[in-house]
A = this chain, B = another copy of it.
């Protein structure tokens, strides 16, 4: 991989130069800049490929199509299994933990010495989080966080190294179990999306490079275009398993990844999502000893909103919109705080051991704060016969009552969300909810970005549900007459949507995810309005959380459209120039020199016939395979029996092409010639120099391009536009701004 190492000193000096805005450095918890590669969509159509396609019959294409369906089914199945595994392990471990702590607290409530319970709780959390942080920080830093920014980048066409490897998946799964059981303010839903993507990248290739096993199947899929399609199916399957939202999953993949809409692809993605939900549902129904009951689709289930609580009136809609605005504000605050925190982390907390220590600190603080809040809370509620509390803590309450603050804190976050949505009116008092919102907000903000695998969906929902319920209670106390206000659960749902929307700023897919998770279509309109408001208000102050983290990773991420005011820029201004071109028959020495030269670090080289007339485009990776197999004109002549290079050789090398340094070329061989005609793409996309930026942008985005050759009106190469050239332009508050992207 083309990663270059920058010493931490360099990173620091760079940070001091550009303190806030133009900081485009990795948030990865290691002292190196993440370098990214673009996925290759456009350039594989060389002669070898076309010949293979021509040889393939109609039936061959049908078989391929069937394999794609099989792969998608497998992706869905495995993603569902992983979700099921995480869910069951978390439930078991968390059950043991809370049971132990509860018994301990009950023991010491009477006798005094509750500090021992606190220490027990803190130590338990501490241990789990430590394990989770160590495996992430020391073994696979890329597994930190929810993985959604990384998957967004991948689907956008930017390949971040190691992001879809098996090792990452293993660390991610173990890490998320540890951090959720460790009582951090995190969710296990975000990481499912990453897990699904890794499963997809693995299954679709029919081999594991890490395990050195090649099953010799699905070889046709060993190229970026196909792999990316499967990864989008995997991400959808992940969303689907996490929220029981197959349609939401499809829309997530489309929103984040689609450029060119393809009906069959979407349909396959939907299939993967459905299978994933179904698998999770099926196995969980067996685990819950209720086989065949398929009504419990996702990891998080918002419970059933039915009966009176689902109705809303026209006059409530302005209230919902106001709550959306609050969500936008709080979300923007969350994002700003987290942005500062992330910069602080990049500067000072970049050693793995420091990161582990920070995670452990957070774990201890979370336990302490929770304990203190519960300890000082005097919100006692009667323990009804149909009460659904899993671990009711009596503490200082009277017999037959339980501590209401403990339902929120002394529980997995998923259960807390559900209880905020569905508990009877009056179960929480306003002070409890206010304090809970406040503390959980800061805890969640501090937690996101730690070197642990965890998501931000559930904490956001929980914060929102808490203040939403608070709003509902306040409204009910103001109006007090109408029964329609009586259900604070409805407001908890709206608050949850507002807060989540304010933080992540997803739109269509989030609406559908929320609707599917509530299992009720009636709330579609209010949820949509709330999410829209939250996004508009939030965007006024700060970008979405994922976008912030993507920006901090300095990847050439392309947004949907070119900035609106960029029409005056043309390809001429945007392109990199001059371009290193190769001749159709080129000296091996020249090629090796070009590839070794770090200043010409392009991945694609136009092939020209003199004088500079474009005739093709060849990729760095293709050249490397050619050099490795010594496909030299002279050798071909001397050894007639030599096997011709086939598409298979490129596929075997995919995706981990060796660096040029590892390929030995002797002095004699440097004098040989290489014939590129057969391996280059003979018809690369080109544009004239006067093409406007939005037009270039549209080509890139719609066709998933990586290189676009700029030619003059004689078809001579004058420049090359890459993703990075486009990603540089950004619409700031004062018009178009040009960013300084990190060199890769």
Contacts and interface: CB of A to CB of B under 8 A. Distances in A.
B713 A615 contact: yes
A567 B50 contact: yes
Contacts of A577: none
A683 to B, nearest CB: 4
A277 interface: yes
Interface stretch (A213-221, A264-272, A374-382, A668-676): A264-272
Nearest to A713: B715
A323 interface: no
A277 B525 CA distance: 9
For chain A, which range describes its interface: under 10, 10 to 19, 20 to 34, or 35 or more residues? 35 or more
Contacts of A270: 507-508, 511, 528
Contact of A255 (B263, B278, B314): B263
User: Which of A254, A312, A735 has the most C-beta atoms of chain B within 10 angstroms of its own C-beta?
Assistant: A254
Given A511-B270, A565-B58, A713 B613 contact: yes
A304 to B, nearest CB: 10
A262 interface: yes
Contacts of A263: 255, 507-508, 560
A261 B258 contact: yes
A293 interface: yes
A590 interface: no
Interface string A486-523: 00000000000000000000011001100110011110
A685 B571 CA distance: 14
Contacts of A686: 686
A521 B528 contact: no
Given A259-B261, A260-B261, A293 B311 contact: yes
A288 to B, nearest CB: 14
A735 B699 CA distance: 31
A274 B525 contact: yes
Interface stretch (A20-28, A137-145, A243-251): A243-251
Given A511-B270, A703-B702, A262 B560 contact: yes
Interface of A: 45, 50, 53-54, 56-58, 61, 244, 246-247, 250-251, 254-255, 258-264, 266-267, 270-271, 274, 277-278, 282, 292-295, 297, 310-314, 507-508, 511-512, 515-516, 519-522, 524-525, 528, 532, 560-561, 564-565, 567-568, 613-615, 682-683, 685-688, 690-692, 695, 698-699, 701-703, 711, 713-715, 731, 735
Given A247-B512, A263-B560, A294-B311, 15 more contacts: A45-B692, A58-B731, A250-B508, A254-B266, A255-B266, A262-B560, A270-B508, A271-B532, A274-B525, A274-B528, A292-B314, A297-B522, A615-B713, A683-B692, A702-B702
